Structure 1
Amino acid sequence: MTGRPVELAVRALRYEVDGQTLLHGVDLTARPGETVGVVGPNGSGKTTLLRCVYGTLPPTAGRVLLDGDDAPALGVKERARRVAVLPQDAAGTFGLTVREVVSMGRSPHKRFWEQDGPDDRRRVTEALETVGAAAFAGRRFDGLSGGERQRALVARALVQEPGLLALDEPTNHLDIRYQLEVLGLVRRLPVTALLVLHDLNLAASFCDRLYVLAGGRVVAQGPPGQVLTEELLAEVYGVRTHVAVHPATGAPSIVYLPERPAG
């Protein structure tokens, strides 16, 4: 259901808008088959970085490379064959059924106005079943709950058969069961994944490596056990925590502590 995993290399990436610099020379690498998480407080540049990677924002400076190829130089269809996106919003879906929205993921593999064939329909059905959305495939997308929409958008990304999945808060609006199922699915796919996540415990459990952004800069990177320390969380997020190794998973487990009373 996916293409060959690609290597993503972001080099000295800078993004400015209206005289404000949102990314200051960011470097990031996701090796083929890795699941890499980008974490950080609100306004740190996570979504801006992701949008530069998948092409909706043109970097002011720096490079985005896919298997060594300059991503902005690729044609729209070629880039879409390599990178699938799960954005925070879903434009262009009003009035469409879930199946029709998921079928949109096949467009990079077809000529303009070419209809879905039997293979396309099979892939769409498989993707809907994989994410638990088959039961509401005939419903209008704009009538779904937030969690149902999220599962449909994951299915759309899957049928695109990408080598890189770029996911912006893929667990938004999902209950715990589907948070775990969606992230577990991403982990199992033969694909490179770049995820923006707010939930640090989920990031610790499902990501091979993390990049921590603050003020548009990478302030830490590495395996979750090395990155998610009490000192870093205090510095970057301004919160008190207790970080321990989870006895079942071996991943860092973060408990947020209340502020000490003044005086």
Structure 2
Amino acid sequence: MTGRPVELAVEALRYEAEGRTLLHGIGLAARPGETVGVVGPNGSGKTTLLRCVHGALRPAAGRVLFDGVDASALGVRGRARRVAVVPQDAAGTFGLTVREVVSMGRSPHKRFWEQDGPDDRLRVTQALETVGARGLAGRRFDGLSGGERQRALVARALVQEPGLLALDEPTNHLDIRYQLEVLGLVRRLPVTSLIVLHDLNLAAAFCDRLYVLAGGRVVAQGPPAEVLTEELIAEVYGVRAHVAVHPATLAPSIVYLPEHPAV
């Protein structure tokens, strides 16, 4: 259902808008099959970086490479066959069923006028089964819960047969149960994943490695246990925190401390 996991390399990426530099020579790598998280405070450049990776934005300098191939040389369809996007929500889906939304993911593999064939329909069904949403196929997408919508959007990404999933805060506005379900699902998929997250505990629990952005620059990178220190959180986020090892997951567990503790 998915393509072969892609090796992602971002080299010296710079992005400018309205005379401002939003990304300052970003470097990032994701090995095939890795789940890599991008974290940082609001305005740090996380979503801008993700959009440069999947092609919604064109950088002013630097390169994005998929398996060593410059993404700018691939064209829209070639890029869409390598990387699929899971947004926070989907525009242009009003009135469509879940099956119709998921079927949109087949467009990079067909001519503009070409209708879905038996193979396309089978792949859509398989994708819905993979995300546990086959029973939602006939329901209207805009009538689903937040967690159900995210599952459908992951299924739409899967039928593109990508080697890389680019996810923009996929747990935003979801209840805790659905946050865990969506990230657990992504973690099990046989793809490379690049995920923008704002919740550091979720990033610590589900990502192999993290890149921390601040002011459009990478200020730290590495495994969560090495990156998510009390000192870094204070420096980057401006808050006090206590970081310990979670006894069940063995991942870093972060508790934020009030500025003026009760006495």
TM-score range, shorter chain: over 0.9
Deviations 1:92-145 (A, max 9, x none): 222211110001011112222222122221221222233232233222222333
Give the aligned partner of residue 25 of structure 1.
Answer: 25
Structure 1 residues 175 and 130: CA distance shift in structure 2, 3 A: farther
1:90 Cα shift?
1.5
Unmatched 5+ residue regions in structure 2?
Answer: none
CA distance in 2, matches of 1:148, 1:250: 29
Which residue number in structure 1 is paired with residue 142 of structure 2? 142
The equivalent residue for 1:81 is: 81
Residue pair 2:89, 2:149 contacting (<8 A) in 1 also: no
Q: Distance in 2 between matches of 1:143 and 1:248?
A: 36
Moved more, 99-108 or 123-132: 123-132
Match status 1:153 vs 2:144:
no
Return the offset for 1:261: 5.7
TM-score, L = length of structure 2: 0.95
Structure 2 counterpart of 1:193, one-letter code: S
Alignment of 1:206-221 (within 5 A): 206-221=206-221
SS in 1 for 2:185: helix
User: SS state of the match for residue 198, structure 2?
Assistant: coil
Could you list the per-position Cα deviations for residues 58-101 of structure 1 after superposition, in whole angstroms to 9, with x for gaps in the alignment? 00111111111110111211111100001234122222111100
Match of 1:121 in 2: 121
Find the aligned partners of 2:234 and 2:95 in 1 and give their Cα distance. 46
- 1-side partners of 2:177 and 2:117: how far apart? 33
Residue 250 (structure 2) aligns with: 250
Over the matched positions of the two proteins, sequence identity in percent amounts to 88
- 1:234 aligns with 234
For the residues of structure 1 that align with 2:128 and 2:67, how far apart are their CA atoms?
29
Off by >3 Å, runs of 4+ in structure 1? none
Query: What corresponds to 2:64 in structure 1?
Result: 64
Secondary structure in 2 matching 1:195: strand
Q: Could you tell me how far apart the structure 2 residues matched to 1:104 and 1:86 are?
A: 13
Offset from partner CA, 1:4-59 (integer Å, 9 cap, x none): 01111101100010011110110000111110000000000000000000001000
Contact 1:147 1:172 in 2 (8 A): no
Amino acid at match of 2:29: T
Q: Give the root-mean-square deviation of aligned CA atoms.
A: 1.4
Q: Name the structure 2 match of 1:187.
A: 187
Contact 2:5 2:163 (8 Å CA) reproduced:
yes
The two structures have a TM-score, normalised by structure 1, of 0.95
Q: Is the contact made by 2:168 and 2:196 (CA closer than 8 Å) also made in structure 1?
A: yes
Structure 2 partner of 1:112: 112
Hey, what's the Cα distance between the residues in 2 that align with 1:173 and 1:233? 23
- Give me the whole-angstrom Cα distance separating, in 2, the residues matched to 1:96 and 1:74: 30
Deviation larger for 33-42 or 73-82:
73-82
- Matches of 1:155 and 1:172, distance apart in 2: 18
Instruction: Give, in angstroms, the shift of residue 201 of structure 1.
Output: 0.6
Q: Deviations over 1:211-232 (max 9, x none)?
A: 0000000000000000000000
Shift in Å at residue 148 of structure 1?
2.3
Residue 43 of structure 1 is matched in structure 2 by 43
For 1:226, what is the secondary structure of its paired residue? helix
Aligned partners of 1:58, 1:171: CA distance in 2, in Å?
26
Q: Secondary structure at the match of 1:13?
A: strand
1:90 alignment partner AA: A
How many equivalent pairs are there? 262
Distance of 1:89 and 1:145 partners within structure 2: 11
Contact kept, 8 Å, 1:204 with 1:252, in 2: the verdict is yes
